[in-house]
Amino acid sequence: MKTEAPSPVLRTGAKPVELSLSWARIADLIELTKPRVAILVLFTVAAGALLGSKGAVPLSLLLNTVLGTALVAAGASALNQVFERHSDALMRRTENRPLPAGRLGAFEASLFGLFLALGGLAYLGWTVRQPLTVLIVAGTLVGYVFVYTPLKRKTTLNTLVGAVPGALPPVIGWTAATGSLDGGALLLFVILFLWQVPHFLAIAWIYREEYARAGLKMLPVLDREGVQSSRQMIAYCLALLPVSLMPVLVHQAGLLYGAGSLAIGVVFLYSAFEFRWKKDVIQARRVLRASLVYLPVLLGLLLLENLV
């Protein structure tokens, strides 16, 4: 009677790592890359390239920039999950991820993440050939994985620190298309930086009990009454209003963008005030939804005015 040979395994000192691939295993590897999160990141990369070049960026350069950045972002997400696998196991929203659920091992996930991240950097260097772009992408990777991720267990300032690499994707696209940094790239960076704070505070409020159980020092975990959290949401939404109108003042956009950015900015701000008045999960979700509408609409209006 013939029997199938067992799949080869690699012993890592923890759990055996299977070298064979199956559809379920491929799905777990894809889940490590957080593809839903990457969509918005890659959209901002493309927007930065198109805005920096006024729509004159070659299609091949645009696609190579997006693809290379996608590989690095995927690797960063995988490495992030390696470092957070123990805290992920303590939260219901993340306990079924491949690492805490035991479907993948930390060693193979680390190899996978490093392969994608380093491969993406090499691909950008080979195809885009803009050293400044590669440097910014590498800085984004280091800042997200090796600075922001460990800080989540140490200080509530992690949100502000994490907002820096989170605001760099449009700068990546801008420098890939132009080869330089200027005021337009800085403006996009500031817009995304300010936008992220109420966005992530809303998420942290929704899941604050789980974050507390995992030992993550998000502001809503320590700010039990929500006073500081709501103040920061309102402050950053208020700051977004004049900053988002800067393209009109420097003649990079017209009245359509100005009216649209003001309207969605007021809606975003109002959602933050609603949370101030009633600090609960329902209102936090409204802030989150407003943030998810705000950024693509703002960048879409800016692209419309610059490219049409």
- Tell me the C-alpha distance between 308 and 300, whole Å: 11
pLDDT of residue 68: 98
Q: pLDDT tens across 135-158, in order?
A: 999 999 999 999 999 999 999 999
pLDDT of residue 168: 98
For residue 3, the SS3 value is coil
Rounded to an integer, the average pLDDT of 30-54 is 95
- Residue-range domain boundaries for the chain: 21-181, 182-308
- Tell me the C-alpha distance between 106 and 81, whole Å: 9
- Tell me the C-alpha distance between 188 and 147, whole Å: 22
List CB contacts of 86: < 8 A, sequence separation 6 or more: 100
Rounded to an integer, the average pLDDT of 67-96 is 97
Q: pLDDT tens across 215-239, in order?
A: 999 999 999 999 999 999 999 999 9
pLDDT tops 80 at residue 1: no
pLDDT tops 50 at residue 296: yes
Report CA dihedral (204, 89, 292, 60) to the nearest 10 degrees: 140
- Tell me the C-alpha distance between 305 and 307, whole Å: 6
Residue 7 binned pLDDT confidence (cut-offs 50, 70, 90): very low
Residue 9 binned pLDDT confidence (cut-offs 50, 70, 90): very low
pLDDT tops 70 at residue 18: no
> Which residues pair with residue 9 across a beta bridge?
18
pLDDT of residue 184: 93
Q: pLDDT tens across 181-201, in order?
A: 999 999 999 999 999 999 999
pLDDT tops 90 at residue 91: yes
Q: Which residue has the tokens 């299977």?
A: 18
- Tell me the C-alpha distance between 182 and 140, whole Å: 18
pLDDT tops 50 at residue 8: no
Q: pLDDT tens across 233-260, in order?
A: 999 999 999 999 999 998 888 999 999 9
Rounded to an integer, the average pLDDT of 105-114 is 97
Q: Could you tell me the maximum CA-CA distance found in the chain, to the nearest angstrom?
A: 80
- Tell me the C-alpha distance between 118 and 73, whole Å: 11
pLDDT of residue 276: 95
pLDDT tops 90 at residue 16: no
Tokens of 18: 């299977």
- Tell me the C-alpha distance between 236 and 233, whole Å: 6
Q: Please determine, looking at this structure, whether the domain spanning 21-181 carries the CATH number 1.10.357.140.
A: yes
Q: Read off the pTM.
A: 0.90
243: number of Cβ within 10 Å: 17
